[in-house]
A = this chain, B = another copy of it.
Amino acid sequence: MKPAKVVILGAGYGGIVTAIRLQKLIRAEEVKVTLVNKHDYHYMTTHLHMPAAGTDHHENARVAISELINERKIHFVKSTVQQILPEEKKVILADETLTYDYLVVGLGSETETFGIPGLREHAMSINSINSVRFIRQHIEYMFAKYKLTSKHKEYLTFVVGGAGFTGTEFVGELADRLPVLCRTYDVDPALVQIINVEASPTALPPGLPHDLVEYGMEVMRRKGVQYKLSTAIKACESDGVLLGDGQFIPAGTIIWSGGVRGNSLLQQAGFDVQRGRVRVDDYLRSFQYPDVFITGDCSIVMSPEGMPYPANAQIAVQQGCNTARNLLYTLRGKPLRPFAYDYKGTVASLGRGEAVGILKVKKVKGKFAALIKKVIDARYLFLIGGIPLVWRKMIFKQKITTRNHHVRS
C-alpha cells in the first residue's frame, strides 16, 4: 500500500504545530508529509511588534524550519503557493505541483483594508519578518530624513491605525523606542507624535474589562501616545492620513493594524469564505472538502454559543495539535476527536515592563502581567522547540548589534 500524502501549506502557528505534532505521532513509512512555506523560517507573529518598533532583533521572532522539523519524516519545500485545486487534490506552487490525499491549509492572513483608499499603497502592516524589518528601518529613516532639513515635522509623526491587540502592542514599543531615536538623531522629543487612531470607542484588545482598558490607556498616555477613538481613517495619502472628522494628519509613517482577513487563495480555490476565512466543521475540516483541514487565520471556528472565536495564535496552536491528531486518526481509520478551544486568557504588552490582560477570569496588569506575557512566549517556544529554543530566543538571544560586526577598536 502506498503511503498517504499529506501536504501542509504554511508554517505559521497552525501549520508548524501540525507538522511538529504529526512527526511525533507518525511512523515515516505510513505517510508522506510535505510542508510548504515561502520562507525557510517560522516566525512568531505575536512577537513582531518588537522588531517592527526596533526594540528587539528580528532574529528573536523567527526560527529556521530545519530546526523544528525532522527531515526524515517531513519533507520541506520552500516555495510560494500559487493555487489550490481541491477538486483535483492538487496544489500548484511557484515551481512544481503537489498532489495530496489530505491537505492542511494554514496560509495565514492578509491585511483587511475595508476599502480605505490609499491604505494598501501608503500604510505598512506588521505581518512578516520582511515587513517589520522594513517598518523598523522606515521609522529610523524618518529621523534621518527630518535632520537633513529640520523642516519637515511630519516626518516625526507616527500614525497607527487600529488600537486592538497588534496596534496596542506596537504603539507601546514605539513609545519606548522613539526617545532613543531622539537621542541618536539629536531630535527634540517634544516634536515627536504618536497618534493611535481607532474606529471603535475604546482602545486595547476587545473584551478587556473597562478598568484594565483605563489602566492601559493611562500607561500609554504617560508615554506620550495620543488616542483618537471613535475615529475612522477615511483615506491614506503618501504624506498623511485623512480622518473621518475631516482632519488631515501629515505623517511620514502610517502603520495599519486595523484588521486582517483570510488568505485570498482560499476564495480563489472556490471555498466558501467570509472575509477570506472558511468556516470549518467540528474536526477543523472544510464542509465542502473534508480532506482539507484549515487552521489559524484562514479558518472560522464557532464557539458552542454559535459565535466565531477570534483568530489568534492561541487558537491556531490548539488547532494545530488537534489537526495533527485527527490526521493520524484519519490515516488509521479511527474516529476523529472534535476540536474544543481551551481559552487561557489574553495578555497585551504595553511596552517595556507593562502589560494588561485576563488569565481565565483573573485580571492582571503592570510588571506581573509583563512577566506572564514572557511566560506565554516561553511556553510556545518550548512547545515547538523545547528548552533549547527558549534558551536561544529568550535568554541568550540575539542582541541588536547588527552594525557591530564592523565596529573597530
Contact = CB atoms under 8 A, between A and B. Distances in A.
A244 to B, nearest CB: 29
A408 B352 contact: yes
B134 A145 contact: yes
Contacts of A138: 141, 144
A247 interface: no
Give the number of copies in the complex: 2
A406 interface: yes
B147 A408 contact: no
B406 A403 contact: no
Contacts of A148: 130-131, 134
A177 B406 contact: yes
A133 interface: yes
Contacts of A137: 137, 140-141, 143-145
Given A395-B409, A408-B352, A403 B141 contact: no
A397 B176 CA distance: 25
Contacts of A144: 130, 133-134, 136-138
A180 interface: yes
A407 B133 contact: no
Question: A interface, by DSSP: helix, strand, loop or mixed?
Answer: helix
Interface in A99-158: 130-131, 133-134, 136-138, 140-141, 143-145, 147-148
A291 interface: no
A390 to B, nearest CB: 13
A132 to B, nearest CB: 9
Contacts of A141: 137-138, 141
Contact of A400 (B133, B177, B403): B403
Which 10 pairs between the two chains have the least Cβ-Cβ distance? A400-B403, A55-B406, A137-B144, A134-B144, A130-B147, A180-B405, A137-B141, A133-B144, A141-B141, A184-B402
Interface of A: 54-57, 130-131, 133-134, 136-138, 140-141, 143-145, 147-148, 173, 176-177, 180-181, 184-185, 352, 395, 397, 399-409
27 contacts: A54-B403, A54-B406, A55-B403, A55-B406, A55-B408, A57-B407, A131-B148, A133-B143, A133-B147, A133-B184, A137-B137, A137-B141, A137-B143, A138-B144, A141-B141, A173-B406, A180-B403, A180-B405, A180-B406, A181-B402, A184-B402, A399-B401, A399-B407, A400-B402, A400-B404, A400-B406, A400-B407
